[in-house]
C-alpha cells in the first residue's frame, strides 16, 4: 500500500499565520509591508492589529528605513515584500540602516526562487541568499516547509539582531513533524545514510528526501540534512557528514554561487575536504512555467538530484 501524498502548504501561508498568533502574544511586534500584504500573507495581521501594521506602499527602501526607526525605538519589526524587491531593491538600506547598527529587523521575503513560476525571470529571485549572506551580522534562514517556517518566525521574536527569511509562493510538501522545534544556527538530519550526505534548504529538502528514496532503490545510502540556517551555518554537522559519508551534495533553489553550496563548501575545504557537487541554478536567469516544470527544467527535481548524487558517489569511489 502506497503512503498518502504529503500535505502541501506554502511557507508564506505559515508566515502569515505565525505573525497573526504573535500579534496577540507580543505587543512589541510590528509588521510592515510594501503594498503586497495579500500576497505576503501579512493581511491577517493588518486586520487584527491595525495600530501595529504599516503599508509603506511601493517603496521598499523607505520601508527598510522605517523598520530601522521602529526597531531603534524597541520594537521587533517584520518587514515583508517579494524577495526580488526586499533583497534586491532595498539592499543598500538593509546594509546601512539595519545591519550596520545591528537593529532588530526581520526581513521576511516571499515569492523567492524558480517556484514563483509563471511570473518569470523578473520576479524569480535567485540571488537573495548571496546578497544577504555577505552582510555582516545578518542571519539567513530558508525554511524547508510550513512547519519550519512558522517555528523560525517564532524563534526570531526572541532572537536579537537582523535576520532574512526566504519564503516561497508555491505550496510545497510538509516534511517536519508538528512538534518540530527550530533553533537558529542548527541543521537537522532527516534521514541517515553513509554513502553521501545531501544538504538542502527550502523547497529542495523534500526533493532531496525523494531523491534519497530513488538512491536507496539503487543500493545507495544517502544522509539528508535540512540546513535551514545558511548563516550562521552548522559547521559541526557539516564536518560530521563529511567524515561519516565521504562526499557531500548540496541542493538549493538559488544560484550555486554564493548560496548554500558555497557556504557548505567553505566549511568543507577548511575542515574536512571531500568530493562535493553543488546542485542549483547555473549562472542563468529563470523562465516562465509552473513550479514543478521549472524545478525539472533546471535539474532541481528528485530524479535529477539522484542522478547527480550517483555520479558523485562514483567519483568518491574512484
Render 100-153 in DSSP notation, one character per residue: TTT--EEEEEESBSGGGGGG-TTT-B-SHHHHHHTSTT-EEE--SSHHHHHHHH
Contact 62, 91 (CB under 8 A): no
pLDDT (0 to 100) of residue 6 = 75
Predicted confidence (pLDDT) at residue 248 exceeds the cutoff of 70: yes
Asked whether residue 306 carries a pLDDT value surpassing 60, the answer given is yes
Res 38: pLDDT: 96
The Cα–Cα gap between 162 and 8 comes to 29
* Strand duo 139-141 + 229-231: pairing: antiparallel
Model pLDDT, residue 317: 82
Q: What angle do CA 182, 184, 188 make, to 5 degrees?
A: 55
Percentage of the residues of the chain whose pLDDT score is greater than 90: 96
- pLDDT 10s digits, 249-283: 999 999 999 999 999 999 999 999 999 999 999 99
pLDDT tens per residue across span 174-192: 999 999 999 999 999 999 9
Segment 86-140, tens digit of pLDDT: 999 999 999 999 999 999 999 999 999 999 999 999 999 999 999 999 999 999 9
Question: Would you say residue 26 has pLDDT above 80?
Answer: yes
Region 200-221: mean pLDDT is: 98
Indicate if the pLDDT at residue 63 is higher than 90.
yes
Q: How far apart are CA 142 and CA 146, in angstroms?
A: 11
Residue 161, φ and ψ in degrees, nearest 5: 125, 170
Structure confidence at residue 5 (pLDDT): 63
Nearest to 139 by CA among 188, 105, 93, 91: 105
What confidence score (pLDDT) does residue 34 get? 97
Cα distances from 294 to residues 112, 121, 131, 225, 247, in angstroms, run 13, 11, 23, 23, 27
Mean of the per-residue pLDDT values for the chain? 96
Q: Which of 13, 60, 127, 204 is catalytic?
A: 60
* Domains of the chain with CATH codes: 8-173 (3.40.50.970), 188-317 (3.40.50.920)
C-alpha to C-alpha distance for 266 and 282, rounded to whole angstroms: 19
The pLDDT tens digits of the residues spanning 213-238 come to 999 999 999 999 999 999 999 999 99
pLDDT higher than threshold 80 for residue 72: yes
Band (1; pLDDT cuts 50, 70, 90): very low
Active-site annotation holds for 60: yes
Q: What is the mean pLDDT of residues 134-156?
A: 98
Judging by beta carbons within 10 Å of its beta carbon (0-12, 13-18, 19+), is residue 92 exposed, middle or buried? exposed
Beta-ladder partners of 54: 32
pLDDT, residue 4, reads 53
Amino acid at each position: 500500500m502506497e503512503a498518502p501524498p504529503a500535505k502541501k502548504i506554502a511557507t508564506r501561508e505559515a508566515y502569515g499565520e505565525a505573525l497573526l498568533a504573535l500579534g496577540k502574544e507580543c505587543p512589541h511586534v510590528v509588521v510592515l509591508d510594501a503594498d503586497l500584504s495579500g500576497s505576503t500573507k501579512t493581511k491577517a495581521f493588518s486586520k487584527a492589529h491595525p495600530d501595529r501594521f504599516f503599508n509603506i506602499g511601493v517603496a521598499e527602501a523607505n520601508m527598510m528605513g522605517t523598520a530601522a526607526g521602529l526597531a531603534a525605538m524597541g520594537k521587533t519589526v517584520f518587514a515583508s515584500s517579494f524577495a526580488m524587491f526586499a533583497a534586491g531593491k532595498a539592499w543598500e538600506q538593509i546594509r546601512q540602516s539595519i545591519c550596520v547598527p545591528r537593529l532588530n529587523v526581520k526581513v521576511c521575503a516571499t515569492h523567492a526562487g524558480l517556484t514563483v513560476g509563471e511570473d518569470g525571470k523578473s520576479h524569480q529571485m535567485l540571488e537573495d541568499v548571496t546578497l544577504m549572506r555577505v552582510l555582516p551580522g545578518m542571519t539567513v534562514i530558508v525554511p524547508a516547509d510550513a512547519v519550519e517556517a512558522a517555528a523560525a518566525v517564532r524563534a526570531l521574536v526572541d532572537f536579537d539582531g537582523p535576520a532574512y527569511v526566504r519564503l516561497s509562493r508555491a505550496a510545497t510538501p510538509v516534511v517536519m513533524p508538528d512538534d518540530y522545534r527550530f533553533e537558529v544556527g542548527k541543521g537537522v538530519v532527516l534521514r541517515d545514510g553513509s554513502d553521501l550526505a545531501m544538504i538542502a534548504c527550502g523547497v529542495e529538502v523534500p526533493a532531496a528526501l525523494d531523491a534519497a528514496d530513488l538512491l536507496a532503490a539503487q543500493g545507495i545510502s544517502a544522509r539528508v540534512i535540512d540546513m535551514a540556517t545558511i548563516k550562521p551555518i552548522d559547521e559541526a554537522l557539516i564536518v560530521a557528514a563529511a567524515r561519516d559519508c565521504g562526499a557531500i551534495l548540496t541542493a538549493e533553489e538559488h544560484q550555486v554561487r554564493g548560496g548554500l553550496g558555497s557556504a557548505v563548501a567553505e566549511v568543507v575545504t577548511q575542515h574536512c575536504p571531500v568530493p562535493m557537487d553543488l546542485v542549483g541554478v547555473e549562472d542563468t536567469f529563470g523562465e516562465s512555467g509552473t513550479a514543478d516544470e521549472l524545478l525539472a527544467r533546471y535539474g532541481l527535481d528528485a530524479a535529477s538530484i539522484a542522478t547527480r548524487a550517483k555520479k558523485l558517489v562514483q567519483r568518491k569511489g574512484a
